[in-house]
Structure formats: C-alpha cells, structure tokens
Structure 1
C-alpha cells in the first residue's frame, strides 16, 4: 500500500522593538511563511493574531486580543500590512485594581465543538466584549503572482500608539 505524506511547512517570526528607547515596546514585526504545493493558490487571508495586551498605570488591565484580515480577487504571493493596534473600550476602565475579565484566549483551544473554531463565532464573541483591540488603518498591500516553489508570505508591522484612556471620575463626599 502507498501512503501519502502531507508536509506543511510554516515559518513564524516575530520581533518587538523599542525604537525611541523609552523602555516601552513601540511596535511588533510579524512574518509568516506558508509553503504551498505548485497547484495551490492563495486569494484571501483570515488570520487571528493573538496578542497579550496589558496596561499598568491607573487601570491595570490584562487581556487577550486579536487582529488581521484581507482578501483579494487574484492569487498572490505576499500580503503586507502596516497599521496601529488601538484600544476600543465601550465602557470606562476602572481607575484602580486589576481587571482580568478578558484575560482568556480568544479561541478556546481545548473545545471539542467545531462551532468554537468557526471564525464568525470567534469574531462575534470578541466584539461582544466591552474592551478589545482593533488593528486600525492596516493599509494592506496584496502582491499578485507566485513562483511555483516559493512560499506565501504574510508580513505585518503593528504600531503601539500612545492613547488617551478614559476613567470614571471618583468624587468624595463629606457629610457634616
């Protein structure tokens, strides 16, 4: 009997930089290479990039978040994105204490149910959160065509912005 071997070659590379040397990470560089068969073509990418997002001043927030998606009408060899990771909060953050309510994986990797791996369900559940991140202004560049023996490449630069975060005003009342 003849056995077919399925070989999937995936190379993942990430690096964070602190360009202005202020002790805080400014951006993330991401590169993923997927080796394809000569007959395979890529016309779209739906990638969940899981990110550990943390705030430590005023509000202490630790959560898992996500980003990245792009489609094209023609097959390509590379997708490049360059954008900003922004905090999206539909309610004010606590001004003290540790908030870990969203410090769970966006994808339940231990689930036995296929619905937990459905991208539409994952995205819907993610956007039901009161606090999330969004990959804004990604400026995708889709490069068409691919030589037979070259991988499909996804490259992204994600900039971490200095953001204004709103907290509730706490007032003290004195009764005399």
Structure 2
C-alpha cells in the first residue's frame, strides 16, 4: 500500500542573508508533489527537521522540528506558508559541557513499527523535551491553479528571528561579569569624588585651616 501511494516530490530550498552579517535570516522551501488525474488536495501536514547549534556562553546541539498543518474547504493546487521559527524553553541550560540533544532521535529512521511514524506520537515525544521549536505568527494562503494542474506546490517561507535562551552561569562567569561591572562603577564614582573634592577646596566652600607643625623646633 505504501509503494502504491508513494510519490517522488521535487524539493528545492535555499537560505538568505538579508543584512549581510554572516547569519541566515530566511529559509525558502518549495515542495512539488505530482498528482494523479482527479486528485484534489484539501489539507497539508508537514514536519520539518532542523539542526540547531549554539557556541557562545553555553554550547548547544540539538535536532528540532517545525510542524505545519493547514486545511481548506476548497480544493487547491498550491499552499504558501509564511511564519517565524520560535524557540520554547522550560528550564535553563547548564553552563558546563554540551547540551546535546542530537542523540535523541525524534524520528527513528530504521524502525519498522508504523507507530513510530505517526505524527501524533512523534509530536508527543518531542513535546517532552526541554527545548522545542515551533511555527509562530503563521499565515496560510491556498491558491487554486486550475483543474488541469498535475502537481501540488507547497511554498514555505520561514524567518529566523532573534531568539533568547536562558542558562545557569558558572561561578567564574558570575565573578567575571561582577568584576567588570564593579570596576566600571568604581571608576565613575572615583572620578566624580575627586572632581567634587577639588571643587569644594578650590572654592573654599568648607572652612579650612592650615596648621604649622612644630616638629622641627622640638628637635633643636
């Protein structure tokens, strides 16, 4: 049954760096699936896998998913999906070692159990993790392309917004940051103190007396 219903899609994708900062900003993905005569598409379910890595402050490596699902009462031959990739975090990451989620297989490629490929089962296991990604701010546009269309075209436009991660810093990280902040405040207050001191004594705001020492006369 699987072989009879199997379709070989044409997949193309590329990433775009809009501000030329060396970091990708958008992902463009197109999947074209051939249709048999008389077939109509009313719903789409798609799982996208991503390799998520972080190297600064704390190290993170993980596989993540984006689940896309949309339906239309009117049969169409094209669906355009636009949205942002957003990160959900339950607990702070550890600062030591690598927060490695690559060993956690989201989908078992060698499994022969159909239950392992069920979308509900995959998402249920995926939702138990500390870090998950999902599609936010989604827009779905269904476009009919005529009755004679021989394929269904899925266009996905995903943006990579700036994400915030929480982690528990180590003792040395806390001391380093605290020392930098303390030194910056100390320099500012020292400069202000000496400026005030110079102004007070120069303008004689506070009464002062000069006392002559008689130490030299005692030794004569």
Same fold, TM exceeding 0.5? yes
- Alpha-carbon RMSD across the aligned residues, in angstroms, is 2.1
**How many corresponding residue pairs?**
169
Q: Distance in 2 between matches of 1:29 and 1:96?
A: 35
The corresponding residue for 1:61 is 60
Q: Distance in 2 between matches of 1:20 and 1:11?
A: 30
Alpha carbons of structure 1 residues 58 and 19: separation in structure 2 relative to 1, 3 Å:
same
List alignment gaps of at least 5 residues for structure 2: 175-220
Alignment of 1:80-99 (within 5 A): 80-99=80-99
Q: Distance in 2 between matches of 1:40 and 1:144?
A: 13
Superposition TM-score, scaled by structure 2 size: 0.70
The corresponding residue for 2:127 is 127
The structure with higher relative contact order (CA 8 Å, sep 6+) is 1
Q: Deviations over 1:54-110 (max 9, x none)?
A: 112112111111112212222111111111111111111223421113444421111
List alignment gaps of at least 5 residues for structure 1: none
Alpha carbons of structure 1 residues 103 and 29: separation in structure 2 relative to 1, 3 Å:
farther
The answer to which structure has the higher helix fraction is 2
Q: Deviations over 1:12-68 (max 9, x none)?
A: 001011111111111111000001012111111111111111112112111111112
Bigger radius of gyration among the two: 2
Alignment check: 8 A CA contact 2:16 2:27 kept: yes
Superposition TM-score, scaled by structure 1 size: 0.86
- Secondary structure of 1:48's match? strand
